[in-house]
Amino acid sequence: MTDKAFWSGELCFGIVNIPISLGISRKSHDHVFKQYVKGTETPVGRMTTNKHTGEEVKADQIVRGIEVPGFGMVLLDKSETDTLTPETNHSIKIEKFFHLDRFDFNRFDTSYNVIPDDENETGYKAFILLSNEMMMQNKGAFVKIKLRHREQLCLLHSNRFGMVCSTLYYEDEIIKQQDYIVPKITDDEINAARALVDAMTVEDSEYSNEQDTYWHAMTDLIISKAQ
């Protein structure tokens, strides 16, 4: 287990239940700035106010609202939306696998590291076997998991570092690309394009060494002003 895990439960595969946890797989380079009054170190607060009167609104007086075309405003209070929240479930069930080369990676939202319980020998062995086999066959699995008070559709997939669980946009949330008309292409043009791509192909190590130059420049600016 790891102290960075935010969810724990079981990965259910056939009759096998594998103890796992989920951990954050990415970190942002963005510097977190707060707002201050110019010329001072007085912080600027964020208040929830009535836009008509300017008065502060208490949390228990706030409801959610949405404008419905042709009808008007629909207001929902917390007791109504809470009835839609799925029951807490600490299991991820794999039902079917599919080939990843048929998957639209535009559907990816957020990815999490799947962390096996290395103190459970049987479960850890099953996790490694499943992860390796999924990677060898280039297959993934659709799963559903409760995250942030709602049931999320996710893709479970493996890479050379381990297993990843990625939340997905649903199919009807994706803005489809237009169908392009394929022009007549000669064999010479295909060969030229292939040669260019081959010449510009790099090893994984070269790609992974890319640096965020903006973040480094901003960090240097902050350090220089702090001195």
| Edge-to-edge strand ranges of the sheet holding 162-168 | 91-94, 5-13, 16-24, 108-116, 162-168, 150-159, 139-147, 97-99
In a domain, 133, yes or no: yes
21 lies in which domain range? 5-27+84-173
φ and ψ at 181, to 5 degrees? Answer: -80, 125
In a domain, 153, yes or no: yes
pLDDT of residue 1: 42
In a domain, 103, yes or no: yes
- From first to last of its 227 residues, what are the pLDDT tens digits of the chain? 445 777 888 888 777 888 888 887 777 666 676 777 677 777 777 777 888 887 888 877 888 888 888 878 888 877 777 777 666 677 888 888 989 988 888 888 889 999 998 888 999 999 999 999 999 999 999 888 887 777 888 899 998 888 999 988 888 888 887 888 889 999 999 999 999 988 888 776 656 667 777 778 778 887 887 76
CA separation (Å) from 225 to 26, 30, 32, 39, 181?
Answer: 28, 18, 16, 15, 55
Q: How many domains does the chain have?
A: 1
Residue from 64, 57, 66 nearest 81 by CA: 64
In a domain, 33, yes or no: no
In a domain, 101, yes or no: yes
- What's the pTM? 0.67
pLDDT of residue 88: 66
In a domain, 99, yes or no: yes
In a domain, 120, yes or no: yes
97, HSE (Cβ side, Cα atoms, 13 Å): 14
In a domain, 211, yes or no: no
Query: 140: domain CATH number?
Result: 2.40.290.10
